Amino acid sequence: MHLLKRILSVIPVVFGVLLLTFLLIHLVPGDPVEVMLGESASLSDSAALREELGLNQPLIVQFGQYLNKLAHGDLGHSIHTKTPISELIQARYPATVKLAFVALCLGLLIGVPMGIYAALHAGHWQDFVITIISVRFSAMPAFWLGPLLMLLFAVWLGWLPVSGMESHASVVLPALTLGFGLSAILTRMTRTSLLEVLNDDFIRTARAKGLSERTVILRHALRAALLPIITIVGLQMGSLLAGTVITETIFSWDGIGRLLVESIEKRDYPVTQACVLIVALSYVLINLVTDILYQVADPRMRHA
Amino acid sequence: MAKTFAISILVFWLIAVLLARLMDVHGNAIDLQHILASPSWQYWFGSDDLGRDILARVLRGAEISFMVAIVVTIINMLIGVTIGLLAGFYGGKLDRLLMQITDVFLAFPGILLAIAFAAVLGPGMLNLVFALCLTGWVSYARLTRGQTKSLRSRQHVQAAESLGATPYRLMSRHILPLLTSLLMVEATYSLASIMIAEASLSFLGLGIQAPNASWGAMLRDGVRYMLVAPHYVLIVGLSLMSLILAINLGGDYLRDKLDVRTA
Q: How far apart are CA B38 and CA A242, in angstroms?
A: 34
| Contact of B67 with B194, CB cutoff 8 Å | no
Q: How far apart are CA A147 and CA A250, in angstroms?
A: 8
- Find the range with the poorest average confidence among A43-52, A105-114, B83-92, B223-232: A43-52
pLDDT value for A128: 85
* Chain A residues touching residue B253 (CB < 8 angstroms): none
Q: Residue B263: which pLDDT band, with cuts at 50, 70 and 90?
A: very low
- The predicted-structure confidence for B183-199, as pLDDT tens digits, reads as follows 888 888 889 889 988 98
pLDDT value for B84: 92
Chain B interface test: which of A246, A265, A266 (most B C-beta within 10 Å): A246
Q: Is the pLDDT of residue B4 over 50?
A: yes
Domain definitions of chain A by residue range = 2-71, 85-303
Q: Is B178 on the interface with A (CB under 8 A)?
A: no
Instruction: Give the residue from A242, A212, A233 showing the smallest Cα distance to A115.
Output: A233
Of all residues in chain B, the percent with pLDDT exceeding 90 is 9
pLDDT value for B35: 66
Topology, domain A85-303: MetI-like fold (1.10.3720)
ipTM value greater than 0.95: no
Spatial neighbors of B21 by CB under 8 A, at least 6 apart, are B63
Q: Is the pLDDT of residue B71 over 90?
A: yes
Q: Which H/E stretch holds residue A81?
A: none
pTM value is 0.84
In angstroms, the Cα distances linking A86 to A25, A91, A280 are: 18, 9, 16
Which amino acid appears at position A150 of this protein? M
Q: How far is B153 from chain A (nearest CA, A)?
A: 23
| Contact of A49 with A79, CB cutoff 8 Å | yes
Other Cβ atoms less than 10 A from the Cβ of A60: the count is 8
Q: How far apart are CA A110 and CA A169, in angstroms?
A: 18
The per-residue pLDDT of chain B, averaged, comes to: 83
Q: Is the pLDDT of residue A67 over 90?
A: no
| Chain A: residue whose CA lies nearest to B121 | A28
Q: Is the pLDDT of residue A165 over 90?
A: no
Q: Is A67 on the interface with B (CB under 8 A)?
A: no
Q: Is the pLDDT of residue A106 over 70?
A: yes
Of all residues in chain A, the percent with pLDDT exceeding 70 is 97
Mean of pLDDT values over A100-128? 88
| Contact of A247 with A99, CB cutoff 8 Å | yes
Q: Residue B78: which pLDDT band, with cuts at 50, 70 and 90?
A: very high
* Chain B residues touching residue A271 (CB < 8 angstroms): none
Mean of pLDDT values over A284-291? 85
Question: Which domains are delineated in chain B?
Answer: 2-17+49-258 (1.10.3720.10)
What Rg, from alpha-carbon coordinates, does chain B have? 22
Q: Which H/E stretch holds residue A172?
A: helix A172-198
Report CA A268 to chain centroid distance, whole Å: 23
Of A105-119, A190-204, A215-229, B103-117, the range with the highest mean pLDDT is A105-119
The per-residue pLDDT of chain A, averaged, comes to: 82
- Find the range with the poorest average confidence among A118-122, A234-238, B174-178: A234-238
Q: Is the pLDDT of residue B16 over 60?
A: yes
Q: Is A177 on the interface with B (CB under 8 A)?
A: no
Spatial neighbors of A39 by CB under 8 A, at least 6 apart, are none
Mean of pLDDT values over A91-98? 88
- Find the range with the poorest average confidence among A183-187, B20-24, B94-98: B20-24
